[in-house]
Amino acid sequence: MAKLKVYEYPHPILREHASKVEKVDHETRKLLDDMLETMYVESGVGLAAPQVGVSKRMLVIDYERDEENPGKPIYMINPEIIWASDEKVCGEEGCLSVPGMRAEVERFAKVRVRYLDYHGKEQEVLAEDFFAIVVQHEMDHLDGILYIDHLSRLKRNMLVKKLEKSREK
């Protein structure tokens, strides 16, 4: 496994509509492995392929890992939301592509997602609680959307200014 470069706002790759993965092969799995490694090194809970410069519909999630827990990686290829709850939730989000920043974002409380797994097999999962938030955040990346796009213009401008200021240091 290798650690990959994480592209940061406002890199244009983060704004592309990622293309569908046509075939789940060795190369696909190698990228997923490297994405997971990168996410662990950067202490993230989710990472989408566009964030490492690959405009493909793939993501990795692991929100259960800590010092005592080896974690449980989830790999999703071509994920689709096939059902969303009426109920919404608000949670604080951050993103490896918008380093050091956090903000409250509204999401569906539950979503059912259909995807291909690490071996190219079709799966369905009902994502709830924190998992639901993470999967919606990562799936947004595949459509060129960042969590800051869900904020009001005023909040977004403040956050971007803060980000730019933190980079000057």
Catalytic residues: 138
Give contact residues for Ni ion (rule: CB under 5 A): 95
| Nearer to Ni ion among residue 24 and residue 60 (C-beta) | 60
Which tokens in the block code for residue 12?
């244009």
At closest approach, how far in Å is the CB of 140 from Ni ion?
8
Measured from each CB, the residue nearest to Ni ion is 95
Using CB atoms within 10 A of its CB, is residue 68 exposed (0-12), middle (13-18) or buried (19+)? exposed
User: Is the Cβ of residue 89 or residue 120 nearer to Ni ion in the bound state?
Assistant: 89
In the complex, least distance from residue 122 CB atom to Ni ion, rounded to whole angstroms: 25
| Min CB(12)–Ni ion separation in Å | 16
Least distance from Ni ion to the Cβ atom of residue 83, Å: 23
Judged by beta carbon, residue 24 or residue 59, the one nearer Ni ion is 59
Our CB check for Ni ion shows the closer of 27 and 92 to be 92
